Amino acid sequence: MERNTELITIQSIQEFPAIGYISNIPRHKKLRLVFKDSVQHLREDFGTDLQKKLPSFQIAIHSVEQEINICKLITDEEITANQIFFTRCAKEYRELGTQLIDLLVTTKKIELNKDFPFLTFNRIKGKRTQSGKVEQWNYYFHGYHCRFQNTKTKQEIEVPFMFGMEFGDLDPYFFSLYIKSTSQYQPLPTEIYEDFADGCRILEVMLKLDLLEKINSNIENHSGIVVKEREKIPIKVFNPETDFERPKSTITRIRQFLKF
């Protein structure tokens, strides 16, 4: 759903909108403040002050245009009221991610390093097999994730592979896209307008509600967030001195390649 935009053109200090007015805008509205040359020098300070006073708002100070865009993010109250829904989404994200990795590995006959799946999948990136299709799902490896999209429903999910065999880590942006692209969740009980910023707030509040928890990844000093009510899976920390895989023979590599 798109927001309605209210345009406010500012030519003098007297025309700056009051913080009380801004704080009471509904979530379906976005304010676009356009600063004329006479007050352009005050734009950044005004925006920075709003960021401090309105932490639950997205205050976007444009780096080129003479404007500030303001929108209210999903509230603590909305998230708390829909905590059962978001818990369900987190659980099903994890379940689907696990199923899709299993489908990919089984279909493509991939010999998966179950302690460190990233070692297996990193070898795929940059090759012809980096993307493809398994059953009704297109897949694409990139970064720390494998993106899957259903060719019929258009549901999409980014499955992380930096947490051993734990595939439920929730990135705020990817979690929002998953929720919005899942037909059985529609209509949403509360709107997600800003995929990343609203996603961050959902994860933040759900952590405070003790429904999500932080987990360590395979890489030292890197962590993730996953639903708390789950079967716990041990995650090993990668040691480059002992955990690098030995290069396989040319014949073995050719056989693995032909499996695709």
The reported pLDDT for the residue numbered 248 is 57
> pTM for the full model?
0.89
Antiparallel, parallel or unpaired: β 131-134 and 67-72: unpaired
Residue 117 in contact with residue 233, Cβ under 8 Å? no
Tens digits of residue pLDDT in 43-92: 999 999 999 999 999 999 999 999 999 999 999 999 999 999 999 999 99
Say whether pLDDT at 253 is over 90.
no
Tens digits of residue pLDDT in 208-228: 999 999 999 999 999 999 999
Tens digits of residue pLDDT in 138-183: 999 999 999 999 999 999 999 999 999 999 999 999 999 999 999 9
Domains of the chain with bracketed CATH = 4-72 (3.30.110), 78-259 (no CATH)
Cβ count within 10 A of residue 42: 13
